[in-house]
Amino acid sequence: MKDLKTALSENAEAVNRVLDDLLVLGDGPESRVVEAMRYTALSGGKRIRSFLVTASAELFNVDKGQALRVAAAVEMIHCYSLIHDDLPAMDDDDLRRGNPTCHIQFDEAAAILAGDALLTKAFEVVADGRTHDSATVRADLVLALAKASGDAGMVGGQMLDLVAEDHELNMPEVTRLQRMKTGALIAVSCEAGAILGRASENAHHVLHTYAHDVGLAFQIADDLLDVEGNEKDVGKKTGKDAAAGKATFVSLLGVERAREQARLLAEQAASHLDIFEEKGKLLQDLAYFVVNRTT
Amino acid sequence: MKDLKTALSENAEAVNRVLDDLLVLGDGPESRVVEAMRYTALSGGKRIRSFLVTASAELFNVDKGQALRVAAAVEMIHCYSLIHDDLPAMDDDDLRRGNPTCHIQFDEAAAILAGDALLTKAFEVVADGRTHDSATVRADLVLALAKASGDAGMVGGQMLDLVAEDHELNMPEVTRLQRMKTGALIAVSCEAGAILGRASENAHHVLHTYAHDVGLAFQIADDLLDVEGNEKDVGKKTGKDAAAGKATFVSLLGVERAREQARLLAEQAASHLDIFEEKGKLLQDLAYFVVNRTT
C-alpha cells in the first residue's frame, strides 16, 4: 500500500491533468475568463478535497477516470469559493497559495466571472455522461454538491462569517459556521465517492461521520495556522482572525486545548473507517495529516 | 386558446409561487443571503425565460408542476446574472426593474453571495427527483443549463462585453456577443421544454432555431429600448450603451434597420413553429411580443 504523501501527490498531479483538460482556452477575447479560471484552479494547493473524492471512491472500486472528473469538479467549486471570498467586498485578500489572488492578477470583474464560470463548469462536468454511466448517479452527485455549496452550506457559511464580524460567536455558533463554510464541501467530497460507488447506506453514513470529524479537525488546524504559521509557509496572510477580532476555535479554546481537540477529532475520524480495514488506511492517515500539517 | 398576455401573467404568477416555495428563509443569521436572493428573484420582471420553458414544455404535454420547477431554475440563473452584472466592478448599476439593485439594497458581499447561491440553487432544483422521474432528463437539463450559462455561454458573453469596452465591435462580433450573453439562456429555456418532454430530434432542432431568432430579436429590441425608452418605463438606466460608446445592433444598423431586422427575426422565429400548428400559437405570439415591447 502506498503512503499518504505519495498518494496525495499522485492525486494532485492527476487532478491537475483533468482540470487542464476540462478548462479549455478558446481563441475569442472572452477566453480571458478561462485564463482567470485556470490561473486559480491550476495554482496548486494540497488538493485535499479531491483526494477525499478519489480515496473514498477507491473504497468502492470506482473507475479512476470517473472519480477524477468528480474530484476536478469539487476543486472547481473550492476554487470558485476562494476567488469570491478573496474579493475586496468580501475578505479582501491579495495573496493566495503564495500568488496574487485572482482579482489582483486580473481584475475584479474577471474574478467574479471566473468564479461564476468555475461553479457552473463543476455542474457541467458532473452531469456529463462521461462522469458515470448511470444518470441517477450523476443527478445525485449534482444534488449533493449543490446542497453542500449553496445557501444552506458553503455560501451560507460565508454569509455567517461576514455577519459574525459584528458580534462575538460562542462555541456552538463557531462550530455551525465552520461546518457550513468548510465542512459541507469536505463532507460531500467523501460522500461523492460513496455515490459514485453506489455504496450501502451504512458505508455512506460512516463516510459522512468521518468527513464531519475531518472537516472540523481541518478547520481547527487552519485556525492554529492562522495564529502560529508564517505567511511564507502558509501561502496566505496569517494573523487575520485575531486582527479582525474574530472568534475561532483557538480564541475560544486556547492553543493547547484546540490542538488537543483537533487530535481527538482525527482519532475519532480514523476509527470510523475501521470497517473498511486495510482499504481505509489512506483516509485514516489523511485525518492525522490534516491536523499535523504546517501549511 | 388563451391570449399571450393572460398566459404571460399566469406564468409569472405561477413561477413566483414556485420561487417563493423554493427560496426558504431560515432563522439563522445567514438567512440574510436568502433575503438577498428573494429580493431579486421575486422582484417581478416579465419572466420571459420561464415562459419559454413552460410554453415549450406544453408542446409536449409535460406535467405543469415539473415544468415550473425548471422554469424557476432558469429565472434563478437569470437573476444571479443580473445581480452580478449590476455590481460596481461590472456594469455598476443602481436601478433594476425600478428598484435599487441587490448590492445597493444589501451590500456588495451579500449580493455576490446571493448570486452564487441562486446559481447553485438552480442546479439543486433541477437535479432533484421532484423535477422529473427520469434521472436522464434531470442530468440532461443540468448539462444543458450549465453549458448555456458558463464560460462558453452567458458568462463568456459578459466577459466579451467587458473586453469590448476597449475596442469597437463589428456586426458579426456583436451578434456573437449577444448570442452568448443573452441568447444562450433564452435558447436553453426553449430546449428545456423539449428535454422535459423527451421531444424528437427534429422538434428539438425547431425549438432551437426558434429560440435563436427570438434571442436575437429580443436583444435588438433591448438595444432599441436603451436608445428610445425612458428610465421610468424600462425600470433601469437607459442611454447607457451610447454613453459607454458601445457598439450595439442599433449603433451599427441605425434605428430603422434595427427595428426592421427585429421584425424579420420575429416573423422567421414564428414560422419555424408552424409544424406545431395551433399548439405553437403562444410561442409565435411571444416572438412578436418580444420585439414590440416597450419595457
Domain ranges (residues) in chain A:
4-292
Nearest-Cα distance to chain A for B270, in Å, is 31
- Chain A residue closest in CA terms to B83: A112
Check residue A126 and give its pLDDT: 98
pLDDT over 70 at A183, yes or no: yes
pLDDT over 70 at B60, yes or no: yes
Contact assignment for A163 to B124 by CB distance below 8 Å:
no
Check residue B235 and give its pLDDT: 65
Q: Which residues make beta-bridge pairs with A96?
A: A99
Does A235 or A40 have the greater pLDDT score? A40
- Residues B83, B289: Cα–Cα separation, whole Å: 25
pTM of the model: 0.95
A41 in B contact zone (CB under 8 Å): no
- Residues B88, B93: Cα–Cα separation, whole Å: 7
Mean pLDDT over each residue of chain A, to the nearest integer: 93
A84 in B contact zone (CB under 8 Å): yes
> Long-range contacts: B207-211, Cβ < 8 Å, 24+?
B207/B56, B207/B59, B209/B269, B209/B272, B210/B269, B210/B272, B210/B273, B210/B283, B210/B287, B211/B52, B211/B183, B211/B186, B211/B187
Does B33 or A229 have the greater pLDDT score? B33
Mean pLDDT of A56-62: 97
Cβ-contact B183, B212 below 8 angstroms: yes
Q: Is A278 helix (H, G, I), strand (E, B) or coil?
A: helix
- Chain A residue closest in CA terms to B150: A117
Contacting residues for B207 by C-beta, under 8 A, at least 6 apart: B56, B59, B190, B191, B193, B194, B199
Check residue A232 and give its pLDDT: 61
Check residue B97 and give its pLDDT: 82
- CATH code for the domain defined by A4-292: 1.10.600.10
- pLDDT tens for each residue of B152-209: 999 999 999 999 887 788 999 999 999 999 999 999 999 999 999 999 999 999 999 9
Q: How confident is the model at residue A2 (pLDDT cuts 50, 70, 90)?
A: confident
Nearest-Cα distance to chain A for B55, in Å, is 25
- Chain B residue closest in CA terms to A150: B117
Q: How confident is the model at residue B252 (pLDDT cuts 50, 70, 90)?
A: very high
Check residue B237 and give its pLDDT: 67
- Residues B104, B202: Cα–Cα separation, whole Å: 46
Contact assignment for B127 to A146 by CB distance below 8 Å:
yes
Check residue B233 and give its pLDDT: 64
A272 in B contact zone (CB under 8 Å): no
Nearest-Cα distance to chain B for A6, in Å, is 34
Q: Which of A203, A199, A189, A206 is nearest to A15 (CA)?
A: A189
pLDDT over 90 at B293, yes or no: no
- pLDDT tens for each residue of A218-227: 999 999 998 8
- Residues B251, B168: Cα–Cα separation, whole Å: 11
Residues above pLDDT 90, as percent of chain A: 84
Q: Is B235 helix (H, G, I), strand (E, B) or coil?
A: coil
Q: Specify the range with the lowest mean pLDDT, choosing from A55-69, A228-242, B19-33, B106-120.
A: A228-242
Check residue B234 and give its pLDDT: 61
Candidates A34, A142, A168, A174: best to mutate against B (most CBs of B within 10 A) is A142
Check residue B227 and give its pLDDT: 87
* Phi and psi angles of residue B131, each rounded to the nearest 5 degrees, phi first: -75, -35
Q: Is A200 helix (H, G, I), strand (E, B) or coil?
A: coil
B42 in A contact zone (CB under 8 Å): no
Cβ-contact A34, A44 below 8 angstroms: no
Check residue A164 and give its pLDDT: 85
CA pseudo-torsion sign B31, B34, B39, B43: negative
Q: Is A247 helix (H, G, I), strand (E, B) or coil?
A: coil
The answer to whether the complex's ipTM is over 0.85 is: yes
Minimum-distance CB partner of B120 among A30, A107, A119: A119
Between positions 165 and 194 of B, the ones with CB within 8 A of A are 176, 180
Q: How confident is the model at residue B266 (pLDDT cuts 50, 70, 90)?
A: very high
- pLDDT tens for each residue of B90-144: 999 999 888 999 999 999 999 999 999 999 999 999 999 999 999 999 999 999 9
Cβ-contact B72, B50 below 8 angstroms: yes
Q: Is A99 helix (H, G, I), strand (E, B) or coil?
A: strand
Mean pLDDT of A65-87: 98
Instruction: Work out the burial of residue A286: count CB atoms within 10 Å of its CB; fewer than 13 is exposed, 13-18 middle, 19 or more buried.
Output: buried
A28 in B contact zone (CB under 8 Å): yes
H/E element, A95? strand A95-96
- pLDDT tens for each residue of B195-235: 999 999 999 999 999 999 999 999 999 999 988 876 666 66
- pLDDT tens for each residue of A190-215: 999 999 999 999 999 999 999 999 99
- Residues B140, B71: Cα–Cα separation, whole Å: 15
